Amino acid sequence: MRHTRFAAVLTVAFCIILLATTVAAQEVTAEADSPTPTIVAATGQVYIVRLGDTLFKIAQRFNLTTRQLAEANGITNPALIYEGQSLTIPGVTSSEATPVPAQATTVPTASPTVSGTYTVQVGDTLFKIAVRFKTTTAALISLNNLSNPNIIYVGQTLKVPAEGETVLPATPAPTPLPGQPTVPETGAPVGYGFDLGVEAFTSGQDLNAVAASIEQLGMGWVKQTINWRDVEPVRGQIDFDTLDEIVNRFASSNLKILFTVTTAPAWARSYILENGPSDSLTDYGSFVATLARRYTGRVQAYEIWNEPNRRSEWSCTESPDNPTFCKARYIDLLAIAYANIKAVDPAAFVISAGLAPTGYNDGVNAIDDRIFLSGLYVAGLSNMSDAIGAHPLGWANPPDSACCSEPDGVATHYENASFYFRNTLDDYRKIIVEANDGSTPIWITKFGWGTSEDTNPPSTNDVFVSYTSLEEQAAYITRAIELGTELGFVGPMFLSNLNGCQGGSDVESCYYSLISPDGTPRPAYVALAGNKPAGEVVPPVEATLIGDIPNTPEAVEPTLEFAPLPTLEDAPLPMDDVTLEPTAGG
């Protein structure tokens, strides 16, 4: 009897062990098959970076701080990690590990072509050098056998790839998003190539300090929104004193300038409840021609209007109870502006308006930007613009993310492709190529990620900025710029914005600002400026100076020497050579 009981106990114990082993194996299999597996090497010490990862999110996954993870891997710039990179996870044991899928470590390799060398200067980062030579950090890493892309030193000689070569040895080139058809290329973009710019607010600001900050960020362009209603509040009385000061200061810093010209003044339109075009579109054409004539050679590009697919920007509303879009077509305004600008400054670039990726298409509040852009092409867009404007905002979704699964920590604004940076660019490129306009680049005239981490809580409409931390803002912006260099069809990218907390006209501008409400640089500023300590970037603002960007110690008033400005001509430019055919769309 005693032996029988002992045998029974052994049998039960064996069954329990067998069951536990089976369940554990099933759990490991389920985890490996899940859409978002924890990819850790079999030793339990290494994590392979996946598409869309940020150092911040990886640290959260393993209950670490970003600093702990960065220090464990010798990373000096937390915003620069790449897909396929191996990260050591401190404190993770082998019992917590999940084997790495074989494909996670299979990365194609290639070697760029050497075209020259470059000597690293003070303040350089690998990213800045890549932008300067129109290539990618990955190509520089491969060509120079750099073991740590975050460590380069002054005086170091780097081999430079051929211009535009974007071989990615450590990261495969961007692949189409799920469900996104492959778009055949029909030619390289023409005109200005890839570059970086930022929108800067100048009202009430120290222009020397603003220009110094833009230079420190390594930007080649600056965007200025020109509200026609503010510049010419009375017909024929244009405030050139303010405009001259802005243009002269930025031009003296060798910055290229984009004017986004929008919002008609009250004297030019019958409906003033919201923003919209002038009753006579030729009035707008005359105004932009006056700007182009005065600033020939100093303002390089003009974006014609802002987000005309939103009623609030293209409204002819008579009463709040009956909101309506204007019957005037945006494509007609663009045609008039294009002809007028080219007549006085043929070298100036004319950019179609960046559209609002709202996700709506009710015809009352908004028209879907993809539908709107397709309609513009039907109406002749390819013949009246040098580049296509785009506003690929990401809300709280990382730049590599694709619609429409709910990302970690993002509770809203993920349900539509309009909420994704990469989806918007891919969709626009598809429309452009299908219209046989593949040589025309996309100019990203507004992009960025907002955060409310160091501000007051946002309203319900802006709740998505509460999902993004300051560190994530830095990581997303940096990765979006990397994507811009990789895609091949992107011209200048304009970040929104430099100093919205100081000079912006609304609270939304502050969420996206590179400079915090107290005047100190946010992590995104530091990342773009090359990881300089915060105190060396922009001095803190005294409480009595909130609203201004302080002068940097090096900032001095430059001596500006420009040719005399031409006198204004009252008569509008002739439009005899412009024929506007009535078409559907737009």
Q: What is the pLDDT of residues 425-457, one digit of tens each?
A: 999 999 999 999 998 999 999 999 999 999 999
More confident residue, 93 or 438: 438
Q: Are 393 and 454 in contact (CB under 8 A)?
A: no
Question: Residue 533 pLDDT more than 80?
Answer: no
Banded model confidence at residue 324, pLDDT cuts 50, 70, 90:
very high
Mean pLDDT across the stretch 366-371? 96
pLDDT given for residue 68 in this prediction: 78
pLDDT of 273 > 60? The answer is: yes
- Is the pLDDT confidence value at 549 over 80? no
pLDDT band, residue 577 (cuts 50/70/90): very low
- 265 neighbors 233 (Cβ within 8 angstroms): yes
| pLDDT interval class at 571 (50, 70, 90) | very low
Asked if the model's pLDDT at residue 369 lies above 60, the reply is yes
> Which amino acid would we find at residue 267?
W
Sheet architecture: strand order including 442-447: 349-352, 301-304, 256-262, 221-227, 195-199, 490-495, 442-447, 388-390
- What pLDDT, in 10s, does the model give residues 158-177? 888 876 544 433 333 344 44
Q: How many CA atoms lie within 13 A of 495 on its CB side?
A: 32
Residue 60 has pLDDT above 90, yes or no: no
CA dihedral 298→304→306→309, nearest 10 degrees, is -160
For residue 266, pLDDT beyond 90: yes
Q: What is the pLDDT of residue 190?
A: 39
Mean of per-residue pLDDT scores for the chain:
77
- Residue 143: pLDDT over 50: yes
pLDDT of residue 147: 59
Is pLDDT above 50 for 29?
no
Residue-level pLDDT at 465: 97
The reported pLDDT for the residue numbered 548 is: 29
The predicted pLDDT at position 5 comes to 46
Q: Report how many helices (DSSP H) and strands (DSSP E) the chain contains, helices first.
A: 16, 12
pLDDT (0 to 100) of residue 214: 96
- Report yes or no: 258 and 222 within 8 Å, Cβ to Cβ: yes
pLDDT in tens, 491-522: 999 999 999 999 988 899 999 999 999 999 99
Domains and CATH numbers, the chain: 32-105 (3.10.350.10), 114-161 (3.10.350.10), 195-545 (3.20.20.80)
Average pLDDT over residues 130-142: 76
- Count CB atoms within 10 A of the CB of residue 150: 20
- Ranking 154-158, 292-296, 305-309 by mean pLDDT, the lowest is 154-158
Most confident among 17-26, 220-229, 408-417 (mean pLDDT): 220-229
Indicate the pairing of strand 86-88 with strand 301-304: unpaired
pLDDT, position 56: 65
pLDDT of residue 471: 96
How large is the average pLDDT for residues 53-58?
68
Separation of CA 298 from chain center? 24
Rounded to whole angstroms, the Cα distance separating 516 from 500 reads 9
Pick from 573, 575, 580: nearest CA to 344: 573
Q: What is the pLDDT of residue 321?
A: 86
Report the range of poorest mean pLDDT among 238-252, 318-332, 376-390: 318-332
Q: Name the least confident of 119-133, 241-255, 368-382.
A: 119-133
Q: The tokens of 189 are what? A: 């973009």
Distances from the Cα of 100 to the Cα of 83, 84, 90, 172, 348, angstroms: 14, 11, 17, 18, 53
According to the model, what pLDDT value does residue 59 have? 75
